[in-house]
Amino acid sequence: MDSKSAFVKRFGDLVALLRVDPGNDAAQDLALSAAAAAVETEAVEIEAGIQWSVIPDELTLKGRLLARQVEHVRIAAGAEAHELLALARALSHDLVPIPSSPNIHVEMVEILVPPPRGPSGAPGGVPAPRPVQPRKDTERRSWDERRRPGRAHYRGIERRRSAERRVSGERRLYLIKGQQADIARLHDSLVRSARALAWEAVLAAALTLVRLAPQVPAIDRRSFGIRVRRAIPRGAVESLVDLAEQDTAIRERAAEVLRWIGPEAAEVLLDRLSAGEAIGVRGFYYDVLGAMPGVYPLVVSLVASPHLHEIRHGAALLGRLGHPDGIQELVPLMTHGDETVRVAGVRAIGEIHEGSAAEPLRQALHHPDPRTRAAAAEAITVWREGALALLLVAALDSERDSGAWQALVTGLGRLGTMESCAALAGVALTRRGLLRRQGYSVSQRLAAVEGLGLAGSPTARATLERLARDAEGVVAYAADHVLRAGRQRAG
């Protein structure tokens, strides 16, 4: 294959990739390298062939040259890769101007436009205003019936075509040009505010750009993101975090911007979590980082830290991220020597609903430490909306620690399912006596009634009504009191 054929093939592949698969960087780099190698020692000239009777495929190189009204391209030997990439990007787009460079010369098709005619029909005069005609009885308005009939007629590539109306239509062109002007204005404001250390103005401009990002054409969205992120260096990110720490009213807006910035903002927040407990702002950090799926590798490194507070932060963030692989990182924490680390690990496992957390939670419910068992009860309550609630019911008879037993009752009450309500009703109705040592004390029975009051579900209310009617003594009184309190809140 000669150098011209190789260049046409590889450069055409690059243009097609930029048009239909702009995110495939690896394939684009290969095509660009091959195209640059083809013209390294020999010049290449390509003619679009405007007078062809057969129009080539739209994704071929000549098809794109025809679509962009390019007549001739002359590429000198030794053309730089960045020059070829700029030309390829322009050919893949429908609106970007076709560039020329020291090594690339582009000749456009000359479009002959007749001169404007005056009122008398002679060329060169000022066109007479068009009379507004009455609306014709048709479904679509004609040009004369438009609200702005004097607006210029677009010709060439800017004139909309049937298959590309939303891409190259006149209204689309106006929207894109207006959007580009807004982006340029906001970017300038962002840069000026950052230089002036006006961080509230930086936040306002950055938030507007972030919310504008989904409206940017897909082919320009990547470069838009790179440009905006470069305008917010690490120092500005740290100042935005400082601003959010001091003012709770702007934390939600700051979180939206920080999540969009991505890894650099995540590094700033993780550094601050590593510095200590971050009391008061820890929840804000968790909310931002917990919505960044790309920070999972950084969070895993915290779990392996020798510092207890970093392990707790890492466990909490793994729970927020909900990544299934996080379970295997959290299971070893259940045997950690520090109680707070075990509790943080068990609670985080309960928040990961996509992984195999059932067996670790069951083991934690039988841990020798009562606080770990209580944390397991809380985690089972939230894991998959109480799919393991029967484990809590089975543990009611064997649990001897008052704190852990209360956690079991509270978890069953918050679930409010038919099974959990039946188990709590059984506790409330089974009293301990001289001849029945397997029953429950008065305080435990009253705790079961209070647990039923936590649910607020129809099943829980029906169970309370049955206890108020069928139970005896303080249990019936407590059930009736909980019902009346619920009616007052509802009313």
Residue 388 corresponds to which tokens in the numbers above? 């393991």
28 Cβ neighbours under 8 A, 6+ residues apart: 14, 17, 18
Q: What are the helix (H) ranges across 196-325?
A: 199-212, 218-230, 234-246, 251-261, 263-274, 282-289, 296-303, 308-321
State residue 433's pLDDT score: 65
What 8-state DSSP symbol labels residue 101? B
Query: Digits of tens for pLDDT over the chain (491 positions)?
Result: 688 888 888 898 898 888 888 878 888 888 898 888 888 888 999 887 654 444 556 778 888 888 888 888 999 988 888 889 999 988 888 888 888 888 898 888 766 555 555 554 445 544 555 555 555 555 555 555 555 555 555 454 444 445 545 555 556 677 888 889 999 999 999 999 999 999 999 999 999 999 999 989 888 899 999 999 999 999 999 999 999 999 999 999 999 999 999 999 999 999 999 999 999 999 999 999 999 978 999 999 999 999 999 999 999 999 999 999 999 999 999 999 999 999 999 999 999 998 899 999 999 999 999 999 999 999 999 999 889 999 999 999 899 999 999 999 999 999 999 999 999 999 999 988 654 567 898 999 999 999 999 988 899 999 999 999 989 889 999 999 999 988 887 65
Angle (CA) 262-268-270 rounded to 5° is 95
Identify which of 278, 326, 277, 337 has the alpha carbon closest to the alpha carbon of residue 303: 326
Query: Residue for token digits 């129809």?
Result: 458
Categorise residue 398: left if φ over 0, alpha if ψ from -120 to 50, beta otherwise. alpha
Neighbours of 399 (CB within 10 A): 22
The per-type count for the chain, helices as H runs and strands as E runs, is 24, 3
State residue 139's pLDDT score: 53
Query: Residue for token digits 């009562």?
Result: 370
Q: In whole angstroms, what is the distance from residue 359 CA to residue 16 CA?
A: 51
Q: In whole angstroms, what is the distance from residue 428 CA to residue 420 CA?
A: 12
481 Cβ neighbours under 8 A, 6+ residues apart: none
149-191 pLDDT tens trace: 555 554 544 444 455 455 555 566 778 888 899 999 999 999 9
State residue 146's pLDDT score: 57
* DSSP E strand stretches across 28-89: 44-47, 70-75
State residue 156's pLDDT score: 47
Q: Which domains does the chain have, with CATH numbers?
A: 3-108 (no CATH), 388-491 (1.25.10)
The b/e string for 447-481 (b: 16+ C-beta within 10 A; e otherwise) is: bbbbbbbbbebebbbebbeebbeebeeebbebbbb
State residue 93's pLDDT score: 86
Query: Residue for token digits 């066109």?
Result: 127
Helix (H, G, I), strand (E, B) or coil at 73: strand
Handedness of CA 228, 232, 234, 239 (dihedral sign): negative
Categorise residue 238: left if φ over 0, alpha if ψ from -120 to 50, beta otherwise. alpha
State residue 53's pLDDT score: 45
Q: In whole angstroms, what is the distance from residue 265 CA to residue 252 CA?
A: 15
Tell if the pTM clears 0.85, that is, is over it: no
| Count of residues in the chain | 491
Angle (CA) 86-89-90 rounded to 5° is 85
